[in-house]
A = this chain, B = another copy of it.
Amino acid sequence: MEQKQFKPLDPLLHSELRLAVMSLLLEVEEADFVYLKKQTDATAGNLSVQLDKLSGAGYIEVEKTFRGKKPCTLCRMTDKGHEAFLTYVDALQSYILQANKQ
């Protein structure tokens, strides 16, 4: 799909949960595991895996700290992630633009 008409969709972002996480991190700049889990309504296992992928791609930074005695996993979007997200949103337009005109 390297055609003119449709721009390729970054597979790392073209996932419901990862997209939701990135969307949240764009708003808040920093969020912990529990917050992300609640906002996305994801299971902990799924969230853990998807955060790993985003982190592995360098789209988010993950910092493991403690809040009091409990572990606390903090996430924030990197510049690279920010750029990738904007590129993804732009690419999406090539698929849905005429639908918006309906």
Contacts and interface: CB of A to CB of B under 8 A. Distances in A.
Interface of A: 1-3, 5-6, 8-9, 14, 16-17, 19-20, 23, 26-27, 39-42, 85-86, 89, 92, 94-96, 98-100, 102
Contacts of A3: 39-41
Copies of this chain per assembly? 2
Nearest to A27: B98
A1 B16 contact: yes
B14 A95 contact: no
A15 to B, nearest CB: 8
Given A6-B40, A14-B14, A16-B1, A23 B89 contact: no
A80 to B, nearest CB: 15
Q: Nearest 8 pairs between A and B by C-beta?
A: A89-B99, A3-B41, A89-B96, A23-B95, A6-B20, A9-B16, A1-B41, A19-B95
